[in-house]
Structure 1
């Protein structure tokens, strides 16, 4: 694998780092933001403060597809990094709760755009034999961003007094600025260039990625696929075999969220405090949790192209369901003292980290035909974020009123996901995007 290919995929995946940081940094900051010395929020307002970013994510998904089709993947990624800078500074300097909410929604637009564009870009520039590993880079970057946010929250908890949360959130402006600069040096997607009839530019990029001989073969194959199938219209997605593929993509996105990952990512300190940990200890456990997540994301990179997507999804779904079931039992029986709660959450994160975490993003970018990819990914990711909003908005209320029984809901959904994967998921490892398109649109 050429170092050039790795570097451009890393630059694109850096948007995933900001995605992970921005969505997770609130977990350590929310208790300080909600306090009487700041915005004095009740449980519903707290849920809205955490989950409002998802509204922005959904907006970002709606507009990113058409914009990236018109102006290119690279330009919209650059715009996304600029929104990350603006939103992080807006949150950090907010004096009114409404300004903070507005800035979080802008952050969500950037997150929604990055969550859609980074996997598409990486899938479109990657050779088939490396696409799983390189696609997992995006999820790895997300997990690094989440881990960095958790560690940063812990380190900054005593910095700035009542304004510590401003530092927790505002520090993200620095990596956002670095990404903004890096993105000027990545090439445009060769598939997008061929759709725009920019053959020479596409050939130069494919040659640089694959070498001259393989680059020529890739150019011929992609060009034949692009010219044979003109750009599809959104309405066509809701008919025949395309609708079946779309429903699979939507289901994958929704299952990734409703199985409970973001109750852990957004509310880990709240869960640990409910289990009897103090504030400092809860933040420390959350930081440890981020490192576990990161470790298993790295593990996924070594297996997703070797073992395949489907086996990882099966093992991960089962592991997540069992972990949350044990967590529910500890809360229901009130036998959650010590570190068993941490053990259950680590088991859940380990299972998610090598399965639904990376594999769903890889599959969503793989399974749709070239001429419908941006539309289909936009719809799938839009509903993914919609499911995220429902989960993150309702969890504080569910935990307060249902206690441990709330975890039973998420555990049962993990087992529903397991059944869906076994019945409907088709293996895609080692196949070019064009091969996948032929197989899935025929089936």
Structure 2
């Protein structure tokens, strides 16, 4: 093997530093996962009469208040990162995450708790848009899939961490109803790591170049590439920017999204986010305990078994990291939607025809774990990855903000209405509906999603312009 070349034949240029960047940046993803899932286990303690005495409705508001805030955080975080820089926004998010977690832990009443949960939601939404965006812009093409997929791994690790922390604290200190404050307050630690770590991370070269700072962009590239690769990539970035001189004169605005080819990218990314959420994953991650109880588990057994959801999510995310750059985005979308649909239908059939059988609960749990592994290894990471790849540099911040806003709003709807679906329609019919959404998703992916494995971000732009911009004279090699 040549010096400076890895086992796959790609330059091994500063891979260690690249993974350090990914680890620090993905503290935002870990906080995304932890803060969304921590209510699965802490709500019972919050609802105690000696604590916040939350009604069932208020429990739903506290739980879904974060996801509503995340929807707005996603759409606001993109434009902020376009103006301030990807690095600066993530640095500030570290501080907001830490202060938000402390505020939730301190909250004297449900109203204050809801305010800080909403603030945390703003940070979660902004991180969900900016972490994959940052990684996509700083990673070399042959590592981009792996690095952006690390975002998904850290999201599900954050969920697993929250399940584990809640199970441990609830078992060890369950006699103290105020233990929920520590459950929520633990998130302060990764918030501090994100804030401090971002001081040691460079700004993305594509953001710097898009703002005319070519020298700084090259210096940023040299920190994460060899000199030869940095020089070559810098030429490609400059060429892409200079195709549209106007992008150096003013920032992107919503008016730009009236252009047919940009609008088509937004529709593609937003619909992909809706498909991801309507595949039903967060019905499992937010209400896994209730699903297991509905399948015949006792309350304590369901709480302990729910930790397996987080563990298998991590296993799936690791698999996704090491397959996305080998098998491709479209193959993983196809396989994920197909297997998830089959698993959801199987659970529905078990609940319909084997309800009450002694073995049905365990069978449901096994199928749900298979569903989780496949989702977290396919639809989970690929949706974030494609959304970070499809927008041109000038529109990337605002564009991903819009598409992730739609994803989060779909998340909010699932989190808000799944308990109603479960009580009114039952588990079987609810899962049949999610399975139907997976099937519809297969047709959408076939018609709209390009294969972006191993190509430069600038080439992805040429695909959409060649397909949807009648004034574009270029061609695209992407199929």
Q: Which ranges in structure 2 are unaligned for 5 or more consecutive residues?
A: 1-11, 468-479
Q: How many residue pairs end up in the alignment?
A: 443
Cα deviation for residue 274 of structure 1 reads: 2.1
Distance 2:179 2:346 in 1: 35
Please say if residues 25 and 149 of structure 1, whose CA atoms lie closer than 8 Å, have aligned partners that are also in contact. yes
Match of 1:402 in 2: 425
**Aligned counterpart in structure 2 of residue 307 of structure 1, from 308, 313, 327:** 327
- Taking a change above 3 Å as real, the CA distance of residues 274 and 31 of structure 1, as seen in their structure-2 partners, is farther
Distance 1:22 1:327 in 2: 28
Distance 1:256 1:381 in 2: 11
Match of 1:254 in 2: 274
Residue 28 of structure 2 corresponds to residue 4 of structure 1:
no
Please say if residues 43 and 396 of structure 1, whose CA atoms lie closer than 8 Å, have aligned partners that are also in contact. no
TM-score (norm 2): 0.89
Please say if residues 41 and 166 of structure 2, whose CA atoms lie closer than 8 Å, have aligned partners that are also in contact. yes
Please say if residues 203 and 216 of structure 1, whose CA atoms lie closer than 8 Å, have aligned partners that are also in contact. yes
Distance 1:245 1:204 in 2: 31
**Aligned counterpart in structure 2 of residue 383 of structure 1, from 406, 410, 416:** 406
Q: How do residues 29-428 of structure 1 correspond to structure 2 at under 5 angstroms?
A: 29-158=42-171, 159=173, 161-229=176-244, 230=247, 231-333=251-353, 334-335=355-356, 337-404=360-427, 405-428=429-452
After superposition, what is the alpha-carbon deviation per residue over 1:141-183, rounded to whole angstroms, capped at 9, x for unaligned?
A: 1111111111111111132521122221111111211221111
Match of 2:34 in 1: 21
After superposition, what is the alpha-carbon deviation per residue over 1:215-251, rounded to whole angstroms, capped at 9, x for unaligned?
A: 0111111122123321433222233122111111010
Cα deviation for residue 288 of structure 1 reads: 1.2
SS at match of 1:428: coil
Cα deviation for residue 389 of structure 1 reads: 0.7
Match of 1:429 in 2: 453
Distance 2:456 2:141 in 1: 5
190-199 or 361-370: bigger deviation: 190-199
The RMSD of aligned alpha carbons is 1.5
Q: Which ranges in structure 1 are unaligned for 5 or more consecutive residues?
A: none
**Aligned counterpart in structure 2 of residue 440 of structure 1, from 464, 467, 473:** 464
State which structure, 1 or 2, has the greater radius of gyration over its C-alpha atoms: 2
- Taking a change above 3 Å as real, the CA distance of residues 38 and 418 of structure 1, as seen in their structure-2 partners, is farther
Distance 1:280 1:184 in 2: 44
Distance 1:75 1:47 in 2: 33
After superposition, what is the alpha-carbon deviation per residue over 1:3-34, rounded to whole angstroms, capped at 9, x for unaligned?
A: 11121122111210111111111111123323
Please say if residues 324 and 332 of structure 2, whose CA atoms lie closer than 8 Å, have aligned partners that are also in contact. yes
Please say if residues 316 and 377 of structure 2, whose CA atoms lie closer than 8 Å, have aligned partners that are also in contact. yes
